[in-house]
Amino acid sequence: RDEQKMIPERRTMIPIQSGFQTREAEDGELYIQGYFSVFNSAYHICDGLSEKIAPGAFSGTLGEDIRALTNHDATLVLGRNKAGTLELREDAHGLWGSVRINRDDQDAMNLYRRVQRGDVDQCSFCSFILDEDRIVREDGSVEYIIKKVRLLEVSVVTFPAYEETSVSARTRQEEDIRRRMLEEQRTALRKKLKGE
């Protein structure tokens, strides 16, 4: 795909088990940490359409300049890997992250307390999809397996949800694929009827 024409897409991850947690280190530093994505877990986009993140999907992007945000708001930066305040790594379970909280940032401290109380425990990420497989099941539903992304940001979110633009983009993509497949079938049928 041509990245110039691609729209960054948000992906929602509803945490399995405990979700995000807070931690105070021995040196007094505060952290919010947990999984921003879980591998091989189906994310529902809309009826008949879902996707999974494959292991290794983030491996080629973790050295890039990535920020941790609150609710995808670029004015509420929690951390940044280039600044050493955001740590991201892949393991067998998914994309794990740890954000060192700035005690002098009231917005960050407010979020820390909300996560600590369990009021906020979900996350999302924004990326370009660089490689994926499309699987059509017997019932006609479709699942995408995302194999490689370019990660732009990760977010701790209050209400995780697919953005309308992401749902529209996936739906359009499905319509285009089905239209092309139908045209290919028609062309093949015409050739068969003509004896070609």
pLDDT in tens, 67-125: 999 998 999 999 999 999 999 999 999 999 999 999 999 999 999 999 999 898 888 88
Please give the Cα distance from 76 to 78 (Å, whole number).
6
Residue 74: phi and psi, rounded to 5, are: -65, -10
In the three-class reduction of DSSP (H, G, I as helix; E, B as strand; rest coil), residue 131 is classed as strand
Instruction: Encode burial over 151-176: b for 16+ CB neighbours within 10 A, e otherwise.
Output: bbbbbbbeebebbeebeeebeeebee
Residue 2 has pLDDT above 70, yes or no: no
- This prediction's pTM: 0.77
**DSSP secondary structure string for all residues of 57-105:** TTTTTTTS--EEEETTEEEEEEEEGGGTSEEEEE-SSEEEEEEEE-TT-
